[in-house]
Structure 1
Amino acid sequence: MWSQRSVIDYSLQRRAVLSTLFNGGATTMDDICDADPYTLRAAKHHGEPAGAPCPVCRKKELSHLSYVFGDELGQFSGRIKSRREIESMAHEHGEIRIYVVEICQHCGWNHLVESYVVGDGVPRKPPRRQRTVEDDD
């Protein structure tokens, strides 16, 4: 396993949002079950099982998406990666910030679970920009 540092756990914030919803606060289902269609598709195709049911609808297991960000990633910053890919990236890059989001594909619940930094601490230059499908006109 790789070394995680600067870990931020958002479970208290998650608990507060759910408490507000279930205890008659100002929050409605539409306010918290607002996953973007892109995020729902990403969870369907790239999500990793979270091992827990949705806290809102309790009908489907949650999926986790891990987004990677870092100056060293260049144009590839902001992509979704699996835990296995992140583990190998941790040995290839100096510092990468990971954001893990949980998503329910049934009701649209989505919430930031945690963020952390991985990497070996040795700064590197970003890779040269590569042409992608998005560049073609």
Structure 2
Amino acid sequence: MTSSRGSKIRGHRPGADRSLDAPYRPAPRAAYAVEDPAAPRGVVDHRIAKQAVVDVLARNPVADDEYTTHINPEPYLLRAAERLGDATARPCPRCEKPGLRHVSYVYGDDLGDTAGQVVPPPRLPQMAREFGEFDVWVVEVCLACQWNHVHLTYTLGDGRAHR
């Protein structure tokens, strides 16, 4: 007959020394040298993923929720694109009308209250010198058809922890 071992197990349980109520905090990254804090690093172009969504929506305009989020943006994103977005020379990949805009969001541990907010691109070089490392997500938004998709992601900052 097999019996439960229960509390007879000896040893260390990973994470047992941490309170369940305490928020998870990743270990701080080591500082590293950055030649130009305002030069984008780790650039990811989301063109292929964007084209795949455009193709699905062209074949099936009533696609499931995974795809309709690209044509039903949050009202905040539309307002941000209208008021703070940078106009581009490219037409919308979905409706092909002019007026595609780029909205830049910033994320990072060093940013404090600024994390998750829209930042005008001219302010990014100044922030790159003030903060250790943060990610910039550039979202393209069409005000005509409400298309939206991540255009680029990249990292800025001087590589030193500031907080």
TM-score (norm 2): 0.70
Note closer, same or farther for the CA distance 1:121–1:31 as it changes in structure 2 (3 Å cut). Answer: closer
1:2 positional shift: 2.4
1:65 pairs, out of 99, 103, 111, with 103
* Pair 1:115 & 2:153 matched: yes
Count of residue pairs the alignment pairs up: 125
TM-score (norm 1): 0.82
Contact 1:50 1:102 in 2 (8 A): no
1:22 pairs, out of 58, 77, 88, with 58
For the residues of structure 1 that align with 2:145 and 2:159, how far apart are their CA atoms?
Answer: 40
Letter in 2 for 1:72: D
For the residues of structure 2 that align with 1:99 and 1:87, how far apart are their CA atoms?
Answer: 15
* Pair 1:53 & 2:91 matched: yes
Contact 2:139 2:150 in 1 (8 A): yes
1:80-117 Cα shifts (integer Å, max 9, x gaps):
11111011111111101100000011111000011110
Q: Aligned residue for 2:48?
A: 12
Note closer, same or farther for the CA distance 1:31–1:119 as it changes in structure 2 (3 Å cut). Answer: closer
1:41 pairs, out of 57, 76, 79, with 79
Instruction: Show structure 2 runs of 5+ residues with no match.
Output: 1-36
Letter in 2 for 1:19: D
For the residues of structure 1 that align with 2:146 and 2:62, how far apart are their CA atoms?
Answer: 19
Letter in 2 for 1:107: C
Write out the 4+ residue segments of structure 1 that deviate beyond 6 Å after TM superposition.
none
Q: Aligned residue for 2:134?
A: 96
Instruction: Show structure 1 runs of 5+ residues with no match.
Output: 126-137
1:53 positional shift: 1.0
For the residue of structure 1 that corresponds to 2:88, the secondary structure is strand
For the residues of structure 2 that align with 1:78 and 1:31, how far apart are their CA atoms?
Answer: 19
1:31 positional shift: 5.1
> Quick check: which one's helix share is greater?
1
Task: Say which is worse superposed, 66-75 or 16-25, in terms of deviation.
Answer: 16-25
Identity of aligned residues (%): 36
Two-structure CA RMSD over aligned residues (Å): 2.0
For the residue of structure 2 that corresponds to 1:32, the secondary structure is coil
